[in-house]
Amino acid sequence: MNIAGKEYNTIWVKENDNSIIQVIDQSFLPFEFRIKELSSVEDVYTTIKDMHIRGAPLIGVAAAFGIYLALVKYDQNTPLNEYLLSAAEKLKSSRPTAINIKHAVDSQLEVINMYNTADEKRNAAFKNALKISETEKENCRLIGEFGLPVIKNISHQKKGSPVNILTHCNAGWLACIDYGTATAPIYMAHDSGINVHVWVDETRPRNQGARLTAWELEQHGVPFTIITDNAGGHIMQHGLVDIVIVGSDRTTITGDVANKIGTYLKALAANDNNIPFYVALPSSSIDWNIEDGINEIPIELRDSDEIKYIQGLINGKIKNVMITGDNFPARNFGFDVTPAKFVNGLITERGICKANKSSIISLFPEKFKNSDK
Ligand code: MRU
């Protein structure tokens, strides 16, 4: 991603200092562009938990670096295995819905296990975190390539007039390492000269759409319009949406999709209006162990203050403003589950498949080798 003429990923190792990981701090965007430094597993944990970084692929990669930083800081006071398992549990507890954290942390533990000394383990964890990061980036690029023909077809059908794409939350470059998931086909379509326009759901309560997706699209020069979360159904009824593309925090092997709260309502409205609803996701977001999204995916409950206060710019300063009565009870569900029956296709790094078990198996057969299908 190019920001003001400079190429960025969302997470990287500090130049000339391997003991520091740097990330783009998303909590001040679009008002301020800040870089945050992480030097311990505690830093990584709070940075993920407090959503200075967010988005399933990115928090997975950050957690992988968290294990590496735990090894950088290892002081021999605790037995190494115990120390690493406690770091792993801490990172896994930072955000419960995105399965990417578990996959990345477990991959680190598996790799580390092959070495004996703390030094060897640290070097291996460093290399593996970089590998996971590069793989996520490449997978997002591939999602873009596989998703592009879907947008191209709609553009042909519309004889070149703008393809209107609705997206929810930020499943963009900021949520990943580069390209994004839902946004990758959009960027690729725009770059190849296809006329696209994005309807950006504001995504209450934290406004990832209005703050982050809109900022990303602006940086890339993609036309967009922010709408309230409740406007999607209305604009679908009036022919203003050609396709919905969203990301995923956890997808079951049967194709149920957990994503930012409100995604399910968009899927219902898309279904009622015969609008294709696609989910773009790398395989790191698939939970290979569960089949029933509604009952098995843990839904994160966040602090109700995220509903009661809203962040904005007042006289050039970022401030929080209370928008409800002080003592009003509020409940902040972070995600919802869209049942597979409302999903027209999953766009993955290996191609597009239907949201059902046999289609997912056909793309990722190695994940099912020992199961009875
Ligand atoms: O709570 P967030 O902002 O981390 O939620 C993120 C989403 O819902 C994204 O759509 C999802 O992580 C996919 S990111 C490519």
Tens digit of pLDDT for each residue in 144-167?
A: 999 999 999 999 999 999 999 999
Stretch 204-215: mean pLDDT: 98
Stretch 19-28: mean pLDDT: 98
Sort strands 257-260 and 335-338 into parallel, antiparallel or unpaired: antiparallel
pLDDT of 370 reads: 64
The minimum-distance atom of ligand 1 relative to the CA of 181 is 15
pLDDT band at residue 267, thresholds of 50, 70 and 90?
Answer: very high
For the chain, give the percent of residues with pLDDT over 70: 99
pLDDT band at residue 228, thresholds of 50, 70 and 90?
Answer: very high
pLDDT of 108 reads: 98
Check if CATH label 3.40.50.150 holds for domain 142-369. Answer: no
Q: Cβ contacts of residue 232 below 8 Å, gap of 6+?
A: 166, 199, 201, 241, 265, 266, 269
Residue whose CB lies within 8 A of the most ligand 1 atoms, among 211, 260, 264, 283, for a mutation test: 260
pLDDT band at residue 369, thresholds of 50, 70 and 90?
Answer: confident
Stretch 217-230: mean pLDDT: 97
Check if CATH label 1.20.120.420 holds for domain 2-135. Answer: yes
d(CA 156, CA 159): 5
The model's pTM is 0.97
181 CB near ligand 1 (under 6 Å):
yes
d(CA 319, CA 329): 22
Stretch 80-94: mean pLDDT: 97
pLDDT of 5 reads: 87
Q: Give domain limits for the chain.
A: 2-135, 142-369
pLDDT band at residue 75, thresholds of 50, 70 and 90?
Answer: very high
Cis (ω within 30 of 0) for the bond into 339? Answer: no
Stretch 229-239: mean pLDDT: 98
d(CA 138, CA 181): 11
208 CB near ligand 1 (under 6 Å):
yes
Place of tokens 């296709």: 345
121-143 tens-digit pLDDT: 999 999 999 999 999 999 999 99
3-state secondary structure of 265: helix
96 CB near ligand 1 (under 6 Å):
no
Residue whose CB lies within 8 A of the most ligand 1 atoms, among 206, 249, 307, for a mutation test: 249
pLDDT of 373 reads: 45
Q: Average pLDDT of the chain?
A: 97
d(CA 173, CA 140): 9
